[in-house]
């Protein structure tokens, strides 16, 4: 009887130790880790940072190159199967680059946000910025949608995914758009600093 109880306690302890909280990041090529091996993508680096703490986390990379906010809702529905505790939405850059109407991008993001909140998930919204050549008016309109949605739904908000990385040749690959290993490390550190208090 004592042996059975011992195994029961041991199994319970092992199950607890193996339990992980899942974080899903829905994004585009930057989230996917374009230009580097997967182990150097910012979701992979973020997972390492989070696992320096007592609790263990699994960061699921939901980045797809070229994706726009139009895919946000359907992709979130898919990733809900993983039963995440936290969802980070980092979409929108390709909308801006393709000149998609700001109103459409906002609607797409909001549908995903509403679904996540309806499942009692914590949501972090990550903002994007457009290059100056897109015009000041479009720049401002585009950037506002993220702040407005975060404020409306009381979300944790990270204003710019590429903060400290965009425009820095030392932190980007040859195309000048996607980060290199050092750049992805900066992004991971920035996001870690913003979300560690939520976990």
How many whole angstroms separate alpha carbon 111 and alpha carbon 105? 10
Residue of 190, 191, 175 whose CA lies nearest to 34: 175
How large is the angle between the packed helices 72-79 and 102-118, nearest 10 degrees? Answer: 20
Residue of 39, 77, 83 whose CA lies nearest to 61: 39
Q: Which residues are catalytic?
A: 29, 175, 178
Identify any residues that bridge with 123 across adjacent strands, giving them in sequence order: 87
The SS3 call for residue 124 is: strand
Residue 128 φ then ψ, to 5°: -130, 165
């Amino acid at each position: 009887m004592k042996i059975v109880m011992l195994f029961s306690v041991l199994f319970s302890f092992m199950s607890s130790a193996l339990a992980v909280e899942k974080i899903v990041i829905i994004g585009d090529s930057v989230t996917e880790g374009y230009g580097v091996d997967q182990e150097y993508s910012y979701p992979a680096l973020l997972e390492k940072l989070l696992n320096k703490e007592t609790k263990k986390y699994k960061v699921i990379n939901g980045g797809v190159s070229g994706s726009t906010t139009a895919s946000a809702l359907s992709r979130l529905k898919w990733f809900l199967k993983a039963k995440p505790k936290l969802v980070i939405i980092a979409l929108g850059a390709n909308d801006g680059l393709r000149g998609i109407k700001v109103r459409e991008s906002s609607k797409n993001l909001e549908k995903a946000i509403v679904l996540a909140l309806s499942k009692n998930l914590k949501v972090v919204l990550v903002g994007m910025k457009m290059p100056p050549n897109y015009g000041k008016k479009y720049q401002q309109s585009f950037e506002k949608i993220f702040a407005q949605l975060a404020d409306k739904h009381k979300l944790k908000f990270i204003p710019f995914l590429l903060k400290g990385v965009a425009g820095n040749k030392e932190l980007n690959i040859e195309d000048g758009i996607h980060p290199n290993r050092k750049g992805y490390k900066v992004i991971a550190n920035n996001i870690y600093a913003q979300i560690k208090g939520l976990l």
